[in-house]
Structure 1
Amino acid sequence: MTETTDTALDETETTTSEVVVDPPAEDAPEGSDLESDPDTFPREVVEDLRKENGRYRQRAQKADDYAKRLHHELVRATGKLADPSDLTFDEDHLTDPEKLTAAVDDLLARKPHLATRKPAGDIGQGGRGSGDAPLGLLDLLKMHT
């Protein structure tokens, strides 16, 4: 019984691992190899093209990073959001300031807790005197310390 199982496996392996090779073209001259094929390039040319393509990919990645940074700063310049990274990146915001403003306003309408909070009124900082009081020794000492 093991013999039939082994032969059955061998038959399935050979059928799945067979590779069909196209016969050579009739108009191809005898003795031609892959190097004379017009679609094959020397190794140096391929390596140069890969390096050049790699440089373009790096440049594109830098451009994407710069675009995201610009978007972040444009959102910050509106002054409406506490954290500019709350608005997701969209390339249309870079070219159309109206779309950027509309997106920020839409985000604030949906999530008002993301808005910038600016203190208003008397928060206990800054000058409190009326300026009419005479200047005394204690006031001079406070100014110089």
Structure 2
Amino acid sequence: MVYKFYLQYSEGSNFYPDYVTNLVALQTDNILHGLGFSSEVLPHETEPSMKIILNGKFVARIIEGCNGLSVIILFLSFIVAFSGKLKTTFFYILSGSVLIYVVNLIRIVILTIALYYYPEHREILHSVVFPAIIYGLVFLLWVFWVNRFSKSNVKDA
């Protein structure tokens, strides 16, 4: 509900389409520049997204669903549902969320480059390979949490 409120509050703000999506787009652009690519991120004219232009070619767009927040909320919900000690839970949520955010950002950068060089593989890259990376990471973080820190992980004495 908080995320839905955030999205509603973002409409009409100074950041388009919303703050985190805008931030992810700008960070993607910075990483691409750091890797030596000529890139530009522009607001899409007809939909709430940011266009990624790589070497003068419109390659991809970043929409709200690409910003990683919904994945972080999913991760956080599971950890809270299987919480451990308060301090451990807090730091695991914090570090896991940062890791998910960073991996998602790297995933977008790699996807952008891959779409530039291999546009014919757009569907499999966007729909299979790259979602598997982010959801695979979340799954591994969950497994690690349950096996290592969760109160539901009862060990025989």
The verdict on a shared fold, with TM-score over 0.5 as the criterion, is: no
Higher-helix-fraction structure: 2
- Larger CA Rg, structure 1 vs 2: 1
Higher-strand-fraction structure: 2
Structure possessing the higher relative contact order (Cα contacts under 8 Å, 6 or more residues apart): 2
TM-score normalized by structure 1?
Answer: 0.29
